[in-house]
Amino acid sequence: DQQVKQNSPSLSVQEGRISILNCDYTNSMFDYFLWYKKYPAEGPTFLISISSIKDKNEDGRFTVFLNKSAKHLSLHIVPSQPGDSAVYFCADNLPMFSGGYNKLIFGAGTRLAVHP
Amino acid sequence: NAGVTQTPKFQVLKTGQSMTLQCAQDMNHNSMYWYRQDPGMGLRLIYYSASEGTTDKGEVPNGYNVSRLNKREFSLRLESAAPSQTSVYFCASTRTVTETQYFGPGTRLLVL
């Protein structure tokens, strides 16, 4: 049974510093991992992803690292900005080819606060 | 291009009342999904529709029904609302099984 855990419910970081958000998962094989960002009263928006065949993916200030042996991924934001303050969800994306849909298993989220 | 839209944004129901949450997408996506999000938890899948004309249960389907009206619209119905269904409901869609899901802004539901 696939599970995704984000063990830190909140994180506070000073503007300009690095934010590191962590996520642990179980039972991967052809998984594809995503990070979503969510502001209050809005839906989650896709931020960055990583395929299980890679160990790093970078997009501007955002980098996701995947450690397959530890079943751990992390999102690095450098430098952090006040506008990055949001809830970040890690999700395990399982394509169900026979069913024609993809299954997302979400972590509980980490609330990031970036202070000036 | 509006993406995924949901109505209403907020609703208060009394226990036992019924209502339908509406969702529409204009991205020509094949698959659509309904999730609920509760405090301290990630989003959990209620129902999904892999393509027009098909629907299936997700992780937490009890107390809900769905209708895939056409390719654009996917509605979620609560026949007899219960306080345990107080939550924020998100609709999502995706074009193929390997692409990311796009979410609507959510419907906040309070059942008294």
What would the pLDDT profile of A58-109 be if each residue is shown by its tens digit? 999 999 999 999 999 999 999 999 999 999 999 998 877 777 777 889 999 9
Rounded to whole angstroms, the Cα distance separating A20 from A41 reads: 24
> Helix or strand or coil: residue A103?
strand
Q: In degrees rounded to 5, what are phi and psi of residue A82?
A: -55, -35
A7 touches B at CB < 8 Å: no
Set of chain A residues whose Cβ sits within 8 Å of the Cβ of B106: 41-43
Q: Do A42 and B30 touch (CB under 8 A)?
A: no
Give the minimum alpha-carbon distance from B107 to chain A in angstroms, rounded to a whole number. 9
> Using CA of residue A26, residue A37, residue B25, residue B84, what is the dihedral sign?
positive
Residue A108: both structure tokens together: 């509980």
Nearest by Cα to A8 from A19, A17, A34? A19
pLDDT for the residue numbered B98: 74
Tens of pLDDT, residues B5-62: 999 999 999 999 999 999 999 999 999 999 999 988 899 999 999 989 899 999 999 9
Q: In degrees rounded to 5, what are phi and psi of residue A84?
A: -80, -10
CB-closest option in B42, B49, B100 to A108: B42
Q: Which amino acid is at A74?
A: S
Set of chain A residues whose Cβ sits within 8 Å of the Cβ of B100: 34, 46, 49, 93
Q: Do A95 and B50 touch (CB under 8 A)?
A: no
Q: What is the 3-state secondary structure (H, E, C) of B50-111?
A: CCCCCCEECCCCCCCEEEECCCCEEEEEECCCCHHHCEEEEEEEECCCCCCCEECCCEEEEE
Tens of pLDDT, residues A26-44: 876 667 899 999 999 899 9
Return the residue of A nearest to B99 by Cα.
Answer: A102
Return the residue of B nearest to A109 by Cα.
Answer: B42
CB-closest option in A44, A95, A108 to B103: A44
> Using CA of residue A42, residue A18, residue A25, residue B100, what is the dihedral sign?
positive
Rounded to whole angstroms, the Cα distance separating A64 from A73 reads: 7
CB-closest option in A43, A91, A97 to B97: A97
CB-closest option in A45, A100, A108 to B50: A100
Answer whether B93's CB lies under 8 Å from B68's CB: no
A88 touches B at CB < 8 Å: no
- Would strands A72-77 and B74-78 be described as parallel, antiparallel, or unpaired? unpaired
Distances (CA, A) of B93 to A7, A50, A59, B4, B30: 28, 20, 23, 7, 7
Quick one: what percent of chain A has pLDDT higher than 90? 75
